[in-house]
Amino acid sequence: MKTYIQTNESGTFYNINDYTAYVGFDALGYEIEKYVDADSITNLDKESIFVGGIGSIRKRLKKLNLEIPEEIEYPNELTSFLGRKVWQSTLQEVMNKNEFPVFVKPLQTKLFTGKIISEFKDFIGLKFDSTVPVWCSGVIDFETEWRCFIRYGEILDVRYYKGKWDNKIDLNMVSDAISAYKSQPNSFSLDIGIDSNGKCHLVEVNDGHSLGTYGIGPITYAKFLSARWSEMTKTEDYLKF
């Protein structure tokens, strides 16, 4: 069993995510090979797990002639858990409507960082074509945000990552969302926000193929990545235990 993990040209892991994956897969007995550019890997074995950023994962899937999954973000099945209106638009349309505040982020992941637009000056610094499609949503003042790691339909781990640390997440709400999400992938996250009234809402959904660790343990992270990789490549998940 083999895992490819991304590094920079000096062989240093790019971030804690790659390092955590290395520790986890190494502890589980995987042979590990470092890479800098996904296109440099000539081995076309689909079972060999690939670890890296979104761009690297997409490169690898393309090289293996496999389908690149669409971004998840806001599944229709989970609309009732959002607690706010969410829709697609463009920056130009947002500017023309002049209905602020509104949260915007690009449909294309990492094109720019999502932000709240409260007035026209908030568009300053967004250096791209105004016709680029974006997600828009009503604004909820989340006091706390948590990331729930889901694997094979069950909560694998829950990690606080923003705001007031002593707000409590409603795990019953999380379980209800998991049950409602019938088309869910084998691993993904539910980001949950808690408002000033203590109510939980779905912030967004993230695919599990290149997700940040937010502090989960190495072996847990390796199992999380393996679940999604095996699904995307239609291969066996040897860490399904």
Mean pLDDT rounded to a whole number for the chain? 93
Strand, helix or coil at 228? helix
The answer to whether residues 3 and 39 belong to one domain is yes
Q: Which residues, 6+ apart, have CB-to-CB distance to 123 below 8 Å? A: 91, 95, 117
Provide the number of structural domains found in the chain.
Answer: 3
Q: For strands 115-117 and 102-106, give the pairing.
A: antiparallel
- What amino acid is encoded at 195 in this protein? D
Contact in structure between 216 and 149 (CB atoms under 8 Å): yes
User: What pLDDT does 120 receive?
Assistant: 80
Shared domain check, 1 and 64: yes
Shared-domain flag, residues 123 and 174 = no
* pLDDT top residue among 131 and 212: 212
Domain match, 145 and 75 both: yes
pLDDT for the residue numbered 127 = 61
Residues 145-188 have pLDDT tens digits of 999 999 999 999 999 999 999 999 999 999 999 999 999 999 99
Euclidean distance between CA atoms 229 and 223, whole angstroms: 10
Of 96, 120, 137, the domain-final residue = 137
Q: For helices 16-27 and 218-233, what crossing angle results, to 10°? A: 90
For 31, the domain range is 1-69+211-241
Q: Which of 48, 47, 52 is nearest to 19 (CA)?
A: 52
Q: Which helix (H) or strand (E) holds 218?
A: helix 218-233
Angular region, 80: left φ>0, alpha ψ -120 to 50, beta rest? alpha
* Strand-pair partners of 192: 146, 202
Strands (E) in the chain, as ranges, are 2-6, 31-35, 49-51, 86-90, 102-106, 115-117, 133-137, 144-151, 154-163, 187-194, 200-207
Provide the pLDDT confidence category of residue 99 given band limits of 50, 70 and 90: confident
Token pair in block for residue 122:
């908030």
Q: What is the CATH number of the domain that holds 151?
A: 3.30.470.20
Give residue-wise pLDDT tens across range 32-53: 999 999 999 999 999 999 999 9
pLDDT greater at residue 182 or residue 132: 182
Query: Which amino acid makes up residue 5?
Result: I
